[in-house]
Amino acid sequence: MNYLEEAVGSIAESIRFDSSLQKKLRGAPFGKGAADCLEHFLSLAEKLGFETKNYEGYAGEVLFGEGEEFAVLCHLDVVPAGSGWEKDPFGGIVEDGKIWGRGAMDDKGPAVCVLYAMKALKDEGFVPKKRIKLIVGCNEEDGWACIEHYNEVAHMPKTGFSPDADFPVIYAEKGILHVRLHFPVIEPPFLRMQGGTGANMVCDLCEAVPRVFDEKRAQSLGLACEGRKLVSRGKSAHGSTPEKGVNAILPVLKYFEGESEAVRKIVAYLFDDAFGLKKLSDETGPLTLSPNKIVYRKGELQVICDIRYPATMSANAVHEKLRKMGVPYETLHHQKPLLVEKNDPLVTTLLGVYERCTGKKAEPVAIGGGTYARALAHGVAFGPEMEGDEAVIHQPNEYITVERVKLLLEIYREAIRELTK
């Protein structure tokens, strides 16, 4: 049994929990939505006959087999819905051969597919020679406190994979650096400025209230005028692929560029790359820089940037460039790169599974995204996106197709079989 119908229904159910970061509650460190989503997932696993553990709402795990530990790391939390949706972001609507909603691809859909793949193996009498730990966290999008807690109260396997990126298999992930830069503003030409919802999401909405309103200038920059407020609407995208989005912050800055040195610096330093951060590059690709949040507060413009730096480089190379700007900044979040040899057995085994299930020859790839794979001493990312897919992760109208669910059930079943037999 491939459990396609059941998996589709369970993914839809999971999407209906708004598991974005919310107010901390007792037993719900990341908010009620995330805690309820975790409980739903673990309850489903128990109904399917698996042993489960809930680690105080931070993370949970589903257990299968005995022996050396092997991890499959997923997450149930999501980024905020953002704007521009044509479907209910938390409706879990199944329509037009797609399951719609925040988390469908990132990462509730793949998590549910792994669970049902394990169930299919169990049904056929497969006995893994390793203890499979399907670990589901609830804070992957906002700091990894879930993994920190798990490491304190449980044992993290050394090896495994995370179905939270791309096929065919990810052998390298760039380093991730989130920084907040402080640009002092003297006599600001605006009363208010604010934009962005997540450090790792391209800003899709930025607003400002100018001291001097120039409707003609606003319209030339594509800004909407709502009363005396300027409104810029862009297109969200994952922070690791800013080129797939349209940053709403830039048109607002352009409006004030001629009236403020601080604004000119932000445009030059962060958008025009005056200090050459984007020139840092290696085989895993160039550095990406995405200014995703901005706010005017206490006499300064504060800008939070998402930086993904090449996997063979040190964060020191990035900090050296940042220091040359002469702008005070602080590090909010840092994850070191992941790098596994292309001929490593973990990589070649998963590549072989992908090729057999899809009939496509492929090579391992590197990405700018960061997955739970780097929480392992020896881990890689494996799916669910494929070349040619519409970019939907961290964007409005996120979905996963029923056909992709069907393929994931097959691929993850065979991957787990091959790696734990």
Catalytic residue among 61, 77, 107, 141: 77
Q: Which burial class, exposed, middle or buried, applies to 297 when counting CB atoms under 10 A from its CB (0-12, 13-18, 19+)?
A: exposed
Catalytic residue among 18, 61, 140, 141: 140
The reply to whether 140 belongs to the active site is yes
pLDDT at 370: 84
On whether the CB atoms of residues 360 and 354 are closer than 8 A, the answer is yes
Q: Which residue has the tokens 């974005």?
A: 20
The reply to whether 300 belongs to the active site is no
Find all residues with CB under 8 Å of 103, minimum gap 6, and list them: 14, 15, 19, 76, 78, 109, 398
Distance CA 192, CA 359 (A): 55
* Amino acid present at 120: A
Q: Which fold has domain 175-335?
A: Alpha-Beta Plaits (3.30.70)
Distance CA 196, CA 292 (A): 6
pLDDT at 307: 97
* Digit-coded pLDDT (tens) for 168-219: 999 999 999 999 999 999 999 999 999 998 899 999 999 999 999 999 999 9
Distance CA 390, CA 266 (A): 31
Tell me which residues of the chain have a pLDDT lower than 70. Answer: none
pLDDT at 2: 82
- Tokens representing residue 5 in the block: 């119908």
Q: Where in the chain is the domain with CATH 3.40.630.10?
A: 4-173+338-420
pLDDT at 83: 85
pLDDT at 82: 85
CATH architecture for residues 4-173+338-420: 3-Layer(aba) Sandwich (3.40)
Q: Where in the chain is the domain with CATH 3.30.70.360?
A: 175-335
pLDDT at 224: 95
pLDDT at 23: 95
Distance CA 228, CA 213 (A): 7
